[in-house]
């Protein structure tokens, strides 16, 4: 049965770790530790460096661990380049309750899944390496003690000496030299000389039992293959491991229920060999019965007895090993299937999480886009609303200003019309008074003069009073000038009154001359006063025109400023809208770039995964080719070994008809 080849080379090999021996060797025994019984097992060696005491070993729970070449077909040992070929190393691992694969070193990248960060990965790696070194030191110490025990036993008991007592009793861990004696018995004198024996350092051996032949293949790399000698069994194939059948369970139960002396050594809690089976009492009884039945009372040599016992023991060992190997293979296949299911479940979970993450990312992206569009729409609506409100406020202000201006114009027109009516009324009254004054002057010069003077003074006072009221209503800003004019007029009137009084005193003497002179003076004064009134009226009209022009200029300036403010607001709104559009375009470009980058990264990751898958496929094909080459080479070696053993059997045993039929069928199968 071939050992599973390695998939990836580790840092070191199991053979180099435990015994530093050549790899080309044969494993002639297997260590099976299903049950530990204190009465069948010798006290183990305890050393300070191993960290194990007698109490720890006695209190350890029963182990159901089979240690042989098939250990390296498990998933945990798929990265191993070598297999454990030394029985001493297997015995040391069995005593320490350590799987051989646990002694192999691991790379740092194997601990990536065990920690979340680099520090956690480093701590896990250091802890694993520390435990591995402790187990390795303990196994080396136990193996050294086994070697020393072999040397001591070999010095006390010669190699070729075999007493009846030794044939009746079973081998114990204190007698590991029985393995060499058993291997030497299964070879003929011609083939025994070609077999290599182990040195004190624990070198490899070429075995003769129906075990496995280990070969070295590859360019400098060590890979071992195991095949059944003689080609009786083909290479095992990986199958789906079913549940343990009832037959296997009953077989194991029957083995456990046998008496202790009748039970195989594989169930005693330690490794066993063909010597243990060949020296068992039931095997010796079967040999004696067969010898009496076949040869009769003739005495046969001890060597023939040992060969017959060895053949029976080999058959019994093969049956026990096949049952244990089948149960172990089923357990390993179940573990392998569970591991594959777990990995598939993890891959499905990872893909589902990736799909959910991508879906959530798409939903988040769409939500962000919708949110941005809604914000932009709301912003545009708000800007339009602000512009509309601003336009309404501006229009309302313009309407209010027009209304105020219209009311002011109406008030000014009304006041001007009232002033005009008052002036016309006053002018009519003045004309009437002047007509009455002229009529009264004709009645009497003195009376008319005094009345005219009095009328004139009253008229002047009324005119000044009316002018003052009109000036106050029209021009609030020209009050001081009007007061000065009124004051000058009053002063002039006072001076005129003084002159009139003086002239009245002299009127008796120069009445006629005074009247003529007074007429001239009155005429000149009236002309002068009229000129002054015209100048004052012209000045007032000029000031009113200037004020109207100033008001109109102010209104035009306000309208111009309002138009400029509207233009500035429109330009600012346009610029803000353009900036918003540019910002949206830039965001869309950035989002598109991010989306393209994510898609490119996903494509790169897919390409890398495809590349890794192709590399693994090529690597698997290469390993398959190497395995087929190793199988072919191992079959050729097994065929040669089978031919040698057949020659030995032909020299020692006669060929029966059943034997010839079996050989013919075997040759037919091999061809």
Please say if the pLDDT value at position 437 is more than 70.
Answer: yes
The residue with greater pLDDT, 461 or 73, is: 461
CA nearest to 90, candidates 4, 153, 151, 25: 25
Least confident residue range of 28-37, 78-87, 133-142, 656-665: 28-37
> Does residue 516 belong to any structural domain of this protein?
no
Which of 428 and 65 is assigned the larger pLDDT? 428
pLDDT of the residue at 61: 40
Q: Does residue 554 lie within any of the structural domains? A: no
Q: Which of 244-258, 339-353, 393-407 has the lowest mean pLDDT?
A: 244-258
Q: Share the mean pLDDT of the chain.
A: 67
* List of residues 6+ apart from 198 with CB closer than 8 A: 21, 180, 204, 205
The DSSP code sequence of 13-25 is -HHHHHT---S--
pLDDT of residue 445: 67
In a domain, 609, yes or no: no
Confidence of residue 433 (pLDDT cuts 50, 70, 90): confident
Distance CA 66, CA 217 (A): 26
Mean pLDDT within 382-406: 86
Range of the domain at 240: 14-361+655-670
Nearest to 178 by CA among 144, 204, 206, 146: 146
Q: Is 144 part of any domain?
A: yes
| Banded pLDDT at 10 (limits 50, 70, 90) | very low
pLDDT above 60 for 321: yes
With 50 as the cut, is the pLDDT of residue 574 above it? yes
pLDDT tens digits along 134-162? 888 888 888 888 888 877 776 654 444 44
Structure tokens at 261: 């002396």
Q: Is the pLDDT of residue 361 over 60?
A: yes
Asked whether residue 109 is domain-assigned, the answer is yes
| Nearest residue to 252 (alpha-carbon basis) of 415, 507, 453, 66 | 66
> According to the model, what pLDDT value does residue 331 have?
86
619: in domain: no
Q: What domain count does the chain have? A: 1
Q: φ, ψ for residue 395 (rounded to 5)?
A: -65, -40
Q: Please give the pLDDT value at position 405.
A: 84
**In Å, how far are 279, 328, 379 from 172, measured between CA atoms?**
12, 25, 94
Reported as a pLDDT band with limits 50, 70 and 90, residue 115 is: very low
Backbone angles phi, psi at 30, to 5 degrees: -130, 150
> Can you say whether the dihedral through the CA atoms of 567, 568, 571, 577 is positive or negative?
negative
Q: What is the pLDDT of residues 81-111, one digit of tens each?
A: 445 556 777 788 888 888 877 887 877 777 7
**508 located within any domain:** no
pLDDT score for 143: 85
Q: Is the pLDDT at 36 greater than 80, yes or no?
A: no
Residue 267 near residue 256 (C-beta atoms within 8 A): yes
Within 13 Å of residue 363, how many CA atoms lie on the same side as its CB?
A: 6
pLDDT at 386 over 80: yes
* Domain-embedded: residue 522: no
Phi, psi of 653 (to 5 degrees): -120, 145
How many CB atoms sit inside 10 A of residue 27's CB? 25
User: Residue 58's pLDDT is what?
Assistant: 39
Cα within 13 Å of Cα(446), Cβ side: 8
* Bridge partners of residue 212, in order along the sequence: 27
Looking at residue 258, its pLDDT comes to 42
**pTM above threshold 0.75:** no
pLDDT grade for 341, boundaries at 50, 70 and 90:
very high
């Amino acid at each position: 049965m071939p050992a599973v080849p390695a998939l990836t080379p580790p840092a070191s090999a199991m053979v180099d770790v435990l015994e530093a021996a050549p790899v080309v060797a044969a494993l002639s025994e297997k260590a099976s530790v299903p049950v530990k019984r204190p009465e069948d097992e010798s006290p183990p060696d305890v050393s300070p460096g191993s960290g194990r005491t007698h109490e720890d070993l006695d209190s350890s729970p029963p182990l159901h661990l089979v240690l042989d070449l098939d250990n390296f077909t498990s998933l945990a040992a798929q990265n191993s380049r070598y297999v454990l070929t030394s029985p001493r190393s297997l015995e040391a691992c069995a005593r320490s309750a350590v799987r051989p694969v646990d002694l192999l070193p691991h790379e740092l990248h194997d601990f990536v899944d065990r920690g979340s960060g680099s520090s956690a990965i480093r701590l896990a790696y250091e802890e694993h390496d520390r435990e591995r070194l402790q187990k390795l030191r303990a196994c080396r110490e136990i193996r050294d003690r086994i070697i020393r025990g072999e040397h001591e036993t070999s010095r006390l008991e010669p190699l070729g000496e075999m007493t009846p007592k030794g044939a009746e009793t079973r081998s114990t861990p204190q007698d590991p030299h029985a393995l060499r004696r058993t291997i030497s018995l299964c070879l003929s004198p011609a083939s025994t000389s070609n077999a290599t024996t182990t040195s004190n350092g624990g070198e490899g051996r070429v075995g003769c039992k129906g075990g496995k032949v280990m070969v070295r293949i590859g360019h400098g790399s060590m890979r071992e293959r195991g095949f059944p000698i003689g080609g009786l069994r083909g290479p095992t194939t990986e199958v789906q491991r079913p549940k343990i059948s009832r037959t296997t369970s009953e077989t194991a139960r029957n083995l456990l229920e046998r008496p202790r002396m009748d039970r195989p050594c594989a169930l005693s809690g330690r490794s066993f060999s063909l010597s243990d089976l060949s020296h068992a009492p039931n095997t010796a009884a079967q040999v004696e019965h067969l010898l009496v039945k076949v040869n009769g009372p003739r005495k046969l040599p001890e060597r023939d007895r040992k060969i017959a016992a060895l053949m029976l023991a080999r058959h019994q060992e093969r049956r026990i090993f096949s049952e244990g190997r089948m149960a172990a293979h089923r357990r390993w296949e179940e573990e392998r299937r569970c591991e594959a299911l777990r990995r598939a479940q993890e891959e499905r979970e990872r893909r589902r999480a990736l799909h959910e993450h991508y879906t959530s990312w798409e939903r988040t992206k769409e939500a962000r886009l919708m949110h941005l569009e809604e914000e932009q729409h709301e912003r545009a609506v708000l800007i339009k609303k602000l512009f509309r409100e601003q336009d309404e406020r501006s229009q309302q202000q313009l309407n209010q200003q027009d209304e105020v201006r219209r009311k002011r114009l109406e008030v000014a027109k009304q006041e001007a019309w009232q002033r005009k009516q008052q002036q016309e009324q006053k002018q009519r009254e003045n004309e009437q008074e002047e007509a009455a004054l002229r009529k009264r002057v004709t009645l009497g010069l003195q009376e008319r003069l005094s009345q005219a003077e009095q009328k004139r003074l009253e008229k002047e006072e009324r005119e000044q009073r009316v002018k003052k009221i009109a000036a106050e209503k029209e021009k609030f800003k020209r009050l001081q000038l009007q007061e000065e004019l009124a004051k000058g007029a009053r002063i002039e009137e006072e001076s005129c009154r003084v002159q009139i009084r003086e002239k009245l005193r002299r009127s008796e003497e120069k009445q006629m001359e005074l009247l003529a002179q007074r007429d001239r003076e009155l005429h000149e004064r009236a002309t002068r006063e009229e000129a002054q009134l015209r100048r004052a009226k012209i000045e007032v009209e000029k000031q009113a025109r200037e004020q109207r022009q100033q008001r109109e200029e102010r209104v035009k300036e306000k309208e111009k400023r309002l138009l400029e403010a509207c233009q500035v607001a429109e330009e600012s709104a346009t610029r803000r809208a353009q900036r918003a559009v540019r910002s949206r375009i830039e965001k869309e470009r950035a989002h598109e770039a991010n989306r393209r980058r994510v898609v490119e990264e996903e494509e790169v990751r897919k390409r890398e995964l495809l590349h890794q898958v192709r590399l693994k496929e090529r690597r698997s094909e290469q390993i398959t080719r190497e395995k087929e080459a190793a199988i072919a080479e191992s079959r050729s070696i097994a065929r040669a070994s089978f031919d040698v053993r057949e020659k030995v059997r032909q020299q020692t045993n006669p060929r029966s008809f059943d034997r010839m039929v079996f050989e013919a069928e075997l040759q037919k199968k091999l061809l």
